[in-house]
Homo-oligomer: A and B are copies of this chain.
Amino acid sequence: MNPAEHLARLQSLNQTAAFNRWCGLEVVSVEEGRATIAMPWREEFGQYAGFAHAGIVGGFIDTACGYAATTVSGPVLASHYAINCVRPAVGRRFIARARVVKAGRSQVFTACEMFGETDKGEVLVATGEVLLVPVAANAA
């Protein structure tokens, strides 16, 4: 598939996930082994101090990594993910850039950085890594 085909396919896939629709999450760009996604701030994202909740951060990073993995390995499911909350997750919009570190037959290793768009520009708010299993491998 070329990047435009990957993008169209992931934009379509993205619309099938109820949580992604609720988040207002959109697929910005895709290439082999890489994906960039974005979503605007919404009120319901807040934890008790008003930043985006760790679950919003984790779900966003998990989604970006899943899309990056899909470009290389087809349908995948996350089996493990880890998130580093390096700064309060604030921003009028969030952006995540994910990449495949290593795609194997039974596991795909990915990594991601998440940024908040603020008046000072893009600020790194979290990093994460997601381990995914190709659905084909799981069914083998």
**A binding-site residues for B, Cβ under 8 Å:** 13, 16-22, 43-49, 53-60, 62-63, 77-87, 101-102, 104-107, 109, 111, 124, 127, 129, 131, 133, 137-138, 140
Candidates B19, B44, B104; contact of A56 at CB < 8 Å:
B19
B58–A44 touching, CB < 8 Å: no
Q: Say what secondary structure dominates the interface of chain A.
A: mixed
A75 to B97, CA, bound (A): 31
B59 touches A44 (CB 8 A): no
Residues of B contacting A56 in the complex (Cβ-Cβ under 8 angstroms): 19, 55, 59
- A131, B133: Cβ atoms under 8 Å? no
* Chain B residues whose CB sits within 8 angstroms of the CB of A47 once the complex forms: 17-20
- Contacts A81-B83, A106-B137, A140-B105 given; does A54 touch B62 at CB 8 Å: yes
